[in-house]
Each structure stands twice: as structure tokens, then as C-alpha cells.
Amino acid sequence: NAGVTQTPKFQVLKTGQSMTLQCAQDMNHEYMSWYRQDPGMGLRLIHYSVGAGITDQGEVPNGYNVSRSTTEDFPLRLLSAAPSQTSVYFCASSRTAGNTIYFGEGSWLTVV
């Protein structure tokens, strides 16, 4: 019973490097999303998807790209990492609107 799985858990990047944070869920959920967590600011929505092939921007989308080619996977791409993207990233999923939202265990990213 895996739930929402994020990889990697920890990553250090140099400024300008690119990387992808992976997120997969095995619950056949339509809705998936990415949040970033920064001290004192709670979690803020980066991008979200309401189904395969459909994505939209959240509150803080700049510097991030997403795609949703399958129901199970929702990767988050940093094309050119910046120190301001040092954060903890959480992926989440839910079956539909109004249902319980499940979170992954988080990915700690440091950009130096």
C-alpha cells in the first residue's frame, strides 16, 4: 500500500543545474499537485493537475514545469535551479474534489 511516493528524498544541486522530482501514486487518483514548504509560510501550491493531460499553475509556478502523461505520475521539473528554490517539496493526490488529500513524505532540495 504505497500511497504517494516521492523521489529523491534529499538532493543538492548547483545553481543552473536541472533536475526532476518524481511523484507517483497508486490509488488511481485524478487530482495531483505539488507544494513547496518554506519556514513561516506553510505550504504553497506550485502546480496542479485534475487528470492526465491537464495541468495548471498554482500560487508560485515560476521556475517549475510539470506534465501529466499518465494518471499515476506527476513529475516536477526545475530547468535552471536557483538558490530561491531551496525548499521542501511535497506531492499530493486525491480522488476527486472534496476528497481526502494524501501527501508524499517530502523531498528536501538544496540549491547552492
Partner 1 sequence: AQSVTQPDIHITVSEGASLELRCNYSYGATPYLFWYVQSPGQGLQLLLKYFSGDTLVQGIKGFEAEFKRSQSSFNLRKPSVHWSDAAEYFCALLGDNAGNMLTFGGGTRLMVKP
81 touches 15 (CB < 8 A): yes
Q: Which of the ranges 12-20, 47-55, 70-78, 79-87 carries the binding residues for partner 1, by CB under 8 A?
A: 47-55
Cα angle, residue 51 at apex, residues 49 and 8 outer, rounded to 5°: 55
Q: Is 89 an interacting residue with respect to partner 1 (CB under 8 A)? A: no
φ/ψ of residue 55, rounded to 5: -135, 160
75 touches 67 (CB < 8 A): yes
Q: Is 44 an interacting residue with respect to partner 1 (CB under 8 A)? A: yes
Q: Which of the ranges 11-19, 36-44, 64-72, 79-87 carries the binding residues for partner 1, by CB under 8 A?
A: 36-44
- Residues lying near partner 1 in the complex (CB under 8 A) are found at 31, 33, 35, 40-45, 48-50, 56, 58, 90, 92, 94, 96-101, 103-106
